[in-house]
Structure formats: C-alpha cells, structure tokens
C-alpha cells in the first residue's frame, strides 16, 4: 500500500523544467551512506553520484559541486558536514539541491521540511530523483511533505518490527548481538543462550536489591563487596547495573529452574 502511494504521489509531480530559468541552471549534488548503509540499502555513494550526474546532464543543469557524507546517520542534519556545505552552496547560488532519495537527505519529517524551507527562502530548489520530487510549485511542495511523512512512517514501522523481532528472540533465549549478556553463556550451537549459574545468582542479587529500593550505585558497590564478577572482569559501575536491570526487567526473566 505504501509503495502504491509513493508511485501515485510521484506521478502527480511535474519534473523541473527549463522554461524561465535561462541558460545558467545550476545544481548541487548530495550523497550519503551510513556506516552500514551501503550493505543494507544497496545504494553506494558511487551509484548515487552517477545518478545525480546523469540527471544534471539530461536536464541541462550545470553540476557546480557534489558533496558527500560517508559513514553518517541520516537521523540528524546538523552534524553532517557534507550536507551543511551543500546547503550553503545551493542557497548561495540559488541552485537545485539534487539527492538520490529523501532517505539520503533526512530521516525525519521535521528535518526534511526544515531543509526544504531553508532552500526556498534562498530561492533554491530541491530535487529527489527516486521520488521524482521538485519544490518549484505548490503541488510539488505538498507532495514533498506527504512523501516525507510516509518515509518517516515506513522507517518507524521497520524499527517497530525490528524491536518486536529482537524481543521475541530474547524470550526464545537466542543471541541477538556480538556480546553475550550477563547471566548467560553461549551454547555450543553458537546461537542459543544458556543460563550461567554463577551469573544468574548475580542477577537475582541485583533484582532483589533493586526491588528493595536500592539505587544503581549502591547495587554496584554491593556486587563488588560480594565478589560477583562482571562479564568482562571490569569493575561494577552504576551504568552497567542499570543496563542489566533494564534488560532483565523488560524482556528476559531469570531462568525459572535457577530461581531461588
């Protein structure tokens, strides 16, 4: 359904055209991948840059510069040097900021709209190739906002499904990360977690003290006094205690056969 709405919205938006823009139309390109974005999303920096260059050539735009953020998350826009430079140059030249897709530009509706409005105030435009969006018309602005909301909705759905899947894996005693959680050891199959008798005792100790109203700092000191070892052998800290308590209280009850 979401894919259909994307297509429906995208087909209603007119493409940027040459009429009334003279012969000096300028474009600023921007590409981004997060740390694992190239692998997960399959859109490399090189592929994004190639699409941007091709669009500029076909539509008669002069590509003034192309800016890149490699290894940056799209959750925030203010901490990406490549994006900030691209926006600065686009606004200065009243150019079109060209991106491969909205997800490369921003992950939140708030940021995407703020970027669009900043460009508009300077007489610059926004072009997203995947969604075929431009912001040179009222209809284009409306569709942009709709797609920005849909993109954020889709991201939230993925996060929700991932959280649910991880929670289910925890209840099944499955390993979900590179770290083995305190209270458990890895079984020979390399996937299933099995209770560690010594660490399960430490978990019961933590939960009992927490239920009694003791704070994380006091619990950490008590664990040290009782000679309970951390998983890594490092000293107990309030942060480590808090992390373990949140995990255990929320999603992974202490093994029934180890309960006192």
Q: Give the active site residue among 34, 103, 116, 196.
A: 34
34 annotated active-site = yes
Neighbours of 119 (CB within 10 A): 21
Q: Which residue has the tokens 């003034």?
A: 64
Among 148, 170, 155, residue whose Cα is nearest residue 102: 148
**Angle between helical axes of 2-11 and 138-171 (0-180°, round to 10):** 160
Q: How far apart are CA 216 and CA 219, in angstroms?
A: 5
Dihedral, 49, 54, 60, 66 alpha carbons, nearest 10 = 10
Q: How many CB atoms lie under 10 A from the CB of residue 112?
A: 25
Q: Which stretches of the chain are DSSP H helices?
A: 2-11, 37-41, 45-59, 81-93, 102-105, 109-121, 138-171, 197-211, 216-225, 238-250
Cα separation, 72 vs 197, whole angstroms? 41
- Positions annotated as catalytic residues are 34
């Amino acid at each position: 359904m979401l894919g259909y709405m994307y297509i429906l919205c995208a087909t209603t938006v007119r493409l940027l055209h040459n009429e009334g823009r003279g012969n000096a139309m300028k474009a600023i390109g921007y590409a981004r991948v997060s740390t694992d974005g190239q692998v997960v999303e399959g859109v490399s920096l090189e592929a994004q840059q190639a699409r941007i260059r091709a669009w500029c050539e076909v539509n008669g735009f002069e590509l003034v510069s192309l800016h890149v953020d490699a290894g940056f998350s799209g959750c925030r826009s203010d901490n990406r040097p490549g994006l900030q430079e691209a926006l600065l140059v686009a606004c200065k030249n009243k150019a079109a900021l060209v991106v491969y897709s909205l997800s490369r530009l921003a992950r939140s509706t708030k940021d995407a709209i703020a970027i669009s409005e900043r460009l508009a105030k300077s007489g610059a435009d926004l072009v997203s190739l995947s969604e075929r969006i431009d912001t040179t018309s009222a209809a284009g602005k409306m569709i942009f906002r709709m797609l920005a909301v849909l993109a954020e909705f889709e991201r939230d759905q993925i996060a929700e499904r991932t959280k649910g899947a991880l929670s289910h894996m925890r209840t099944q005693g499955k390993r979900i990360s590179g770290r083995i959680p305190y209270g458990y050891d890895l079984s020979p199959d390399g996937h299933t977690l099995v209770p560690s008798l010594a660490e399960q005792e430490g978990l019961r100790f933590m939960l009992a003290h927490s239920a009694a109203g003791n704070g994380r700092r006091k619990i950490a000191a008590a664990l040290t006094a009782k000679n309970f070892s951390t998983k890594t052998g490092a000293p107990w800290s309030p942060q480590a205690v808090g992390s373990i308590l949140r995990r255990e209280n929320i999603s992974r009850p202490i093994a029934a056969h180890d309960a006192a």
